[in-house]
Structures are given as C-alpha cells and as structure tokens.
Amino acid sequence: MTALTAGITPAGEGIGGVVWNILGQTYKPVASGDSCFAFDALFPPETFVPPHIHTTQDEFIRVLEGRFDLVLDGQPMQATAGDLIRMPMGIMHGIFNKSGAPVRALFWVSPARSLETLFQRIHNVADPAEVVRIASEHEVTFLPPAG
C-alpha cells in the first residue's frame, strides 16, 4: 500500500521532476498514493483524449486556463477556467481542446489504481493504437470511433 505523503509540489513541476509526453499533451504528477493520483496537464490546441471509460475510478478535472469541449455520458458540454468536471466511474467521457489556445488543468482520479503506471508506460508512445492497447491493461477502455 502506498500512502499519500504530506508536502508541496511546486507550481509548474512534477513530483521528482517527472514530465510525461502523452500523444502531444504534457502531464506532470503532483500527488500520488493509493487513495488518489493527481496530475497537471497542458493540452495544446487540437489535442484530445478520445471517449473512454474508467471502470474503477472517479475522475475530476479543474480547468485552470482555457476551455475544454467534452462529451460526458453522450452529451456535449464545455468547461472553462474555474469549472470542475466530475466523471464518475463507468461514465463515458472524451476531452477535446478545440479552443485554438492551450488549456491547462488539474486532473485527479480516486482511487489511484494503476493510472500512474499507465502514464509511465505510454510516455512518448506515438502510436495511438498502442496507447489504446496498453490502456486496456490498466482499466481504461477506449471506445471505437463513432460513425
């Protein structure tokens, strides 16, 4: 069991200097333990996370700068700076930056399960199909494209 440790992760840094490149997005872990895992994310314009489901985790996003377009449980939505997005486990969601500007956000999941390990494994993996395959080994199920 890994306990969450007390402390401060300085602004703009990941724990231990860790920075992941995940399909063009930048993720920096800021808190990690069995109970939760949190990471700062920077989504450049036109980047996205396709619709997927976390079967064993609730996920949250606090938008810090910019605007996300979302699909949440099949419904289109938008979230802007200051908004909190709630995505209960088992609910389909997709996250898109269609704003033309970078979006910065704090993401977290509870419980942590193996999401941090997933990010370690898919860091710098350029093939989306391989990312989807690896994600399926970590309780994240990507849905086939619509149409």
What is the per-residue pLDDT for 146? 62
Domain assignment of residue 147, yes or no: no
pTM given for the model:
0.94
Domain assignment of residue 97, yes or no: yes
Domain assignment of residue 5, yes or no: no
* Measured distance CA(14)–CA(113) in Å, rounded: 19
CA angle 49, 70, 141 (to 5 degrees): 40
Tokens of 42: 């920077």
Domain range for 105: 25-113
* Measured distance CA(114)–CA(43) in Å, rounded: 22
* Measured distance CA(120)–CA(81) in Å, rounded: 28
Domain assignment of residue 8, yes or no: no
Q: How many domains does the chain have?
A: 1
CA-based nearest residue to 67, from 59, 58, 76: 76
Residues of the chain with pLDDT under 50: none
- Do residues 14 and 40 make contact, with C-beta atoms less than 8 angstroms apart? yes
Domain assignment of residue 109, yes or no: yes
- Tell me, what CATH number does 34's domain have? 2.60.120.10
What is the per-residue pLDDT for 131? 94
* Measured distance CA(41)–CA(126) in Å, rounded: 18
What is the per-residue pLDDT for 145? 72
- Do residues 48 and 96 make contact, with C-beta atoms less than 8 angstroms apart? yes
* Measured distance CA(4)–CA(49) in Å, rounded: 27
